[in-house]
Every structure is written in structure tokens, then in C-alpha cells.
Structure 1
Amino acid sequence: MTGIRIGGRAFRPRGAPGIAAAAFIVLAISLGNWQARRAEEKLELGRRLDEGAKGPVLSVSSARLDASALEHRRVSARGRFVARAVLLLDNKVLHGAAGYHVLTPLRLEGSEDLHVLVNRGWIAAGERSRLPAVPTPETVQTIEGIAVAPSRRFVELAPEAASGPLRQNLVPEREEKRLGLGLQPFVIEQTSDASDGLAREWERPDTGVDRHRGYALQWYSLAALAAVLYVALSFRRADSGRN
């Protein structure tokens, strides 16, 4: 059968290498598309944050609110912190130092059982065998910050222990049961000043866009390279037979 010929070589693809090359190309393109989508998602979140910063400060009341309607908006909440329920969210890095995010439920003024989790800021880890002591104000507080929905993009190899303040991931619905407190379905990243020694340098949601774009380009390049190599290696000498 006459096929494509270039010079003294004919295009004679083989089945197994062709299937392997096609599978890799499809996988690489899929991974490139995923990275490109992540970049666009982060850009959209950044735009929403910028738009929310221009709007008025919304009050977090004693009624349950819709997290999607408040996400990335400036909010204000007034109430008292529940000192017994301080949480430490692990594996948080600031300027290259390991530490924790300190989250404390704020009982909303005018409510007996509705609270909102406030991410009060970052504290250094110190010795891993000893959790840092975090001072908690006892008086009524007015907290201002940004409403955020905790990320659901995490993997748990085993269920977290319910005892103690340390957490690897934060799921408000799960904390409601563990703490025995009614919680709003979002977290306030505190931006208002407080004399608690905690650092409040919040990462923008569009951080890492260029990294995702770079990964996407790498995967697309690998897909193109695999296609070129497969075609090039499929050209064999015309007199080499059909083997």
C-alpha cells in the first residue's frame, strides 16, 4: 500500500506506539486545560475581590447568611469571642516561616447560638510538640474583614481527631458538630487592627496565576513534542519492508 513518502522514507506507524502516544497526548492536553482553567478561576476570584473592596461594608447579622452572596465582600461583625473554641489551622507559611492560622468563633451580638468563625491571623509554630498560646479578648469586639468560603480542595488520608485545637483542614459544617456551636457558612479574614500579636497578611485568591499558566504551557509543549516524535519515528526507510 502506498503511503506518505518523504525522500527515501515512508510513513509506517505502528499500533502499540501509536496508542501510547495518543494516550499521552490526550492526557497532557487535559492537564494543560486543567491548569489553564485554574488560572482563569483565580483571575475571576481576584476580580470579585477587587469589586467587593469597592462596595459598602456589609453587616453580619444574627441570621444565617448565604456564603456565595458574601464571598470576597467586606463585612463587619460584632460580638464576643468564644475562648474555649480557638482553632489552629496547620501548615500556614508566612515569609518562609511555618505557623498556624488562628480561628475563633465570634458569638454574634443579638444571638444566643449563632457564631461566625474569624480568622484572626497568623502565629509562628515554634516547637511542634507545643502549641502556641493565643490570647483571646473577653470584651465585645467589632471585627472587620473579608468574607471567604473555606477551600474544599484538599485530601484527607484519615479523619481528623475531634479533640484539641489543631486542624489540617477547615469545614464549617464539621466544626459545628465538633464545637457544638451554630456557625455561619463562611469565615471572616480579619483586617481590622488588634493588639494580639497576630500577623494579618492575607494571600489574594489570584496568587499563582502565572504559575498555572506556566504549567499549562509545559503540558501543551509536551503534547506537541510527543506528536512530533511519534510522526518522526514513524518514518522508516522505504526499503525496510513492513516490519
Structure 2
Amino acid sequence: MIVLGYRFEPKLWAIIATTVSVFVFIELGKWQLSRADEKNARYEQLEQYAKEPAITLPEVLIKLEDFQYRDIEVRGEYLPEHTVYLDNKTYKGRAGYHVVTPLKIANSSLYVAINRGWIATGYDRTILPLIPETNEPVKVTGVVVSPESRALELSDKVLPVGKVWSNFDLQRYQEATGLKMQPIMVLQKDQAEDGLVRDWDKPDSGASKNIGYAVQWFSLAATAIIIFLVLNVRRKNSKS
């Protein structure tokens, strides 16, 4: 094809390669936009949950997806002997732990993991900070999250030893303690006289990251088209 002294004669392989590349880039961009829509929808659901009153945690086994991100209320008694300290948790630049204690649900044989908040490590990491405990029944309100928290560790085949854990794994925790746990963790929100900080970060939707990725994929599609045109448009008298 010749237009205004220029000719456009792309090779078949160039047409195929460019078409496939542009198709893939556009589909990846569309997928990232769909992920952004999903995250926005979930965030709107979280905002709606935040406006609703706390619901009582059932005495029977539940499913995480039915309660995740909901505010719940649970009554029971702590088992401080099974408290674990999740390491490498920072608050305002200070190193510390998240303190997780199981709560025996009232009128139930089940337990639930309560993340009671953050506490500083102190100058001597061989000495764990003391947490005021109570043997009296308590009422805890908080938000339900997944009980799994992951950080770098060497192996997941050996049960953690001691009270300081790098990760919280519900199955491993049940094996270590012998307790039957609800498949959730509760981030405690109500205040208690225990010195723990419960300033939980409120996550944003995260959709902006996916939109950014989508823009990158669409830009790559446009770049592929431009490169294809530039490399295959030549002056009429130029040699191939």
C-alpha cells in the first residue's frame, strides 16, 4: 500500500506478532480493571459493615467468608497460658508484637483467636512484655479477619516453639494447643486496661494499584502498534 510517497508493506509474521501482543496486552488491562472493580465492591461492602451494629459470634462452627470484616461481639474467658506473641510488628516506627490469646466462647466448646493489640518489645527481647490478665468472663468486640498471617520463615513443617511466633497459622496453633478454634481471628476494638495499642489500620480498596497496572498494559498495547507502524512504513524509493 502506497500513500503520499510512503509504502506500508508489513511482513506476515510482524502482523501476527503485533496482533497477538496487542490482544494479550488489552486483555491483561481489562483483567486488571475487573480486579479494581472487585476491590471497589468489597471496599464498599466494608464501609457498609462498619455502619452496622456488631453481631454476636455464634456458639457453633462458622465459615470465615460469612463473617469476614464484620464487627462481632463475643463473650467468654481468656486462656492466657496459650497466648502467643506475633513478632516483627511495628507501630509508629517502633518494634513490637501482636498479642494473640484464645477466648473460650461462653456456652460452647469452641475457642476464638483474639488479636488483642500491639505492645513494644522492650530493650531485652529475651524478656516478653507482661500483659495484665483476668480470669473473669469478658466481652470482646472487634472485626473479623482471616486467621492466617504470613511472614518469611525457614520451614512450615515444624511447630513453633515457645510463645514468640513469626506467623500465625490456625491449623498449627490448634495442633500446638489442642484447642478447637473458630476459623477466624478477631481484631479487638474495645478498650481495656492492659496497655495494648488497638490502632488498627483501615485498609483502602487497593483498586488504584490495579488501575495503574491496567494503564501500563494499555500503554504497552499502544506502544506495540506504534512500533509496528514505524518499522513498516518506508519511503517509496527506499530499499527493503
TM range (shorter): 0.7 to 0.9
1-side partners of 2:124 and 2:16: how far apart? 50
SS in 2 for 1:187: strand
Superposed counterparts of 1:72-111, under 5 Å: 72-111=69-108
1:184 corresponds to which of 167, 171, 182: 182
2-side partners of 1:65 and 1:135: how far apart? 29
Tell me the CA shift for residue 184 of structure 1.
0.7
Match of 1:122 in 2: 118
Q: 1:169 to 1:40 in 2, by over 3 A?
A: farther
Match of 1:223 in 2: 221
1-side partners of 2:218 and 2:116: how far apart? 41
8 Å CA contact retained: 1:83, 1:136? no
Tell me the CA shift for residue 48 of structure 1.
1.7
Letter in 1 for 2:177: L
1:83-103 Cα offsets, whole Å, 9 max, x none, are 233334455444455544332
Superposed counterparts of 1:159-238, under 5 Å: 159=156, 161-164=158-161, 165-238=163-236
Match of 2:65 in 1: 68
SS in 2 for 1:193: coil
8 Å CA contact retained: 1:82, 1:105? yes
Q: 1:232 to 1:206 in 2, by over 3 A?
A: same
Among all aligned residue pairs of Structure 1 and Structure 2, give the percentage whose two residues are the same amino acid: 34
1-side partners of 2:221 and 2:94: how far apart? 38
- Give the aligned CA root-mean-square deviation in angstroms: 3.4
Letter in 2 for 1:73: R
2-side partners of 1:233 and 1:128: how far apart? 65
1-side partners of 2:177 and 2:70: how far apart? 26
Q: How many aligned positions are there?
A: 238
4+ residue segments displaced more than 6 Å: 126-129, 151-157
8 Å CA contact retained: 1:46, 1:206? yes
Letter in 2 for 1:118: I
2-side partners of 1:89 and 1:224: how far apart? 47
1-side partners of 2:236 and 2:115: how far apart? 70
> Does residue 141 of structure 1 match 2:150?
no
Tell me the CA shift for residue 80 of structure 1.
2.0
- Stretches of structure 1 lacking an aligned partner (at least 5 in a row): none
Tell me the CA shift for residue 144 of structure 1.
0.3
SS in 1 for 2:115: strand
TM-score by length of 2: 0.78
- Stretches of structure 2 lacking an aligned partner (at least 5 in a row): none
Superposed counterparts of 1:39-58, under 5 Å: 39-58=36-55
Letter in 2 for 1:214: G
